[in-house]
């Protein structure tokens, strides 16, 4: 009868299984919640930004009035200036001929000639040469210098023996040098003068201003932007 009054308490199998399942769920929840909390904390630290004030250097274009030196014509004090230049004495070239003809018993030469008339008001010396074209062959003759008095003429004759019967000679005269004379005239000239005026100029100026910036929490913690803060 004693056994019937104090029966031994026994845990049913169903309750034991339920308790075990609850314990497993609780352990899993703790293991999952720990890394999830860390991830959320990292996201907060990385994404949330806090404001701070900093100095910023920038460039701005400004207009200033500054004295400027300029060179201008002095229209109030003109003067006449004598200007001279060298010009060649006036000549006229005419009667140009290029031809070939026999020379001596069995020779043959080509000739280039032209007449130079001195139309200037002074005597002068001219030096000419002649460029032969003998059937495509170029030959330059020795220069000839001649004094030609004013209002008179002289015929320059150049020759070459480097041609034969049947050649077609051509050519052109070349002026090597000639006398020059001065011609002068008076010209009204305005002198230059230097003046100083106030002019508007544009300059680049560096300035500093205070602005609001934002930094993540991790930058604030390590003092990443401490040198630019005010």
143 band by pLDDT with thresholds 50, 70 and 90: very high
CA atoms within 13 A on the CB side of 76: 2
The pLDDT of residue 8 is 44
Residue 134 neighbours by CB distance under 10 Å: 19
Least confident of 5-9, 32-36, 87-91: 5-9
Residues 6+ apart with CB under 8 A from 58: 206, 207, 208, 209
Structure tokens at 176: 């090597």
What is the maximal distance between C-alpha atoms in the chain? Answer: 182
Sign for the pseudo-dihedral over CA of 105, 111, 117, 118 = negative
Return the higher-pLDDT residue of 32 and 15: 15
Bridge partner list, 153: 117
The pLDDT of residue 154 is 97
| Cβ pair 179, 124 in contact under 8 A | yes
Residues 6+ apart with CB under 8 A from 43: none
The pLDDT of residue 5 is 46
Is a pLDDT exceeding 70 seen at residue 213? yes
| Closest residue by Cα to residue 78 from 197, 195, 186, 196 | 186
The CATH number of the structural domain formed by 83-186 is 2.60.40
Q: Flag whether the pTM goes above 0.75.
A: no
Residue pLDDT, tens place only, 49-72: 888 888 888 888 888 888 888 899
Residue pLDDT, tens place only, 118-132: 998 889 999 999 999
Annotate the chain with three-state secondary structure: CHHHHCCCCCCCHHHHHHHHHHHHHHHHHHHHHHHHHHHHHHHHHHHCEEEEEEEEEEEEEEEEEEEEEEEEECCCCCEEEEEEEEEECCEEEEEEEEEEEEECCCEEEEEEEEEEEECCCCCEEEEEEEEEEECCEEEECCCEEEEECCCCEEEEEEEECCCCCCCCEEEEEEEEECCEEEEEEEEEECCEEEEEEEEEEEEEEEEEEEEEEEEEHHHHHHCCCCCCEC
d(CA 60, CA 53): 21
Bridge partner list, 131: 140, 172
The pLDDT of residue 156 is 97
174 band by pLDDT with thresholds 50, 70 and 90: very high
The pLDDT of residue 9 is 47
Q: Which residue ranges make up each domain of the chain?
A: 83-186
16 band by pLDDT with thresholds 50, 70 and 90: low
């Amino acid at each position: 009868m004693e056994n019937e009054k104090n029966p031994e308490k026994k845990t049913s199998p169903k309750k034991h299984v339920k308790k075990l399942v609850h314990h497993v769920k609780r352990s899993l929840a703790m293991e999952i919640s720990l890394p999830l909390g860390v991830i959320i904390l990292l996201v907060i630290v990385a994404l949330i930004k806090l404001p701070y004030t900093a100095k910023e250097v920038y460039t701005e274009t400004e207009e200033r009035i500054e004295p400027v030196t300029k060179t201008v014509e002095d229209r109030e004090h003109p003067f006449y200036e004598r200007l001279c230049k060298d010009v060649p004495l006036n000549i006229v070239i005419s009667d140009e001929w290029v031809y070939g003809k026999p020379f001596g018993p069995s020779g043959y030469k080509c000739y280039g000639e032209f007449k130079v008339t001195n139309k200037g008001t002074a005597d002068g010396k001219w030096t000419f040469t002649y460029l032969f074209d003998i059937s495509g062959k170029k030959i330059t003759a020795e220069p000839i210098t001649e004094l030609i008095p004013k209002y008179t003429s002289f015929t320059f004759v150049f020759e070459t023996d480097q041609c034969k019967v049947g050649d077609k000679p051509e050519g052109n005269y070349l002026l090597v040098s000639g006398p020059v004379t001065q011609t002068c005239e008076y010209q009204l000239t305005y002198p230059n003068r230097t003046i100083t005026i106030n002019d508007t100029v544009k300059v680049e100026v560096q300035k500093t201003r205070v602005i609001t910036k934002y930094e993540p929490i991790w930058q604030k913690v390590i003092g990443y932007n401490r040198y630019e803060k005010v």
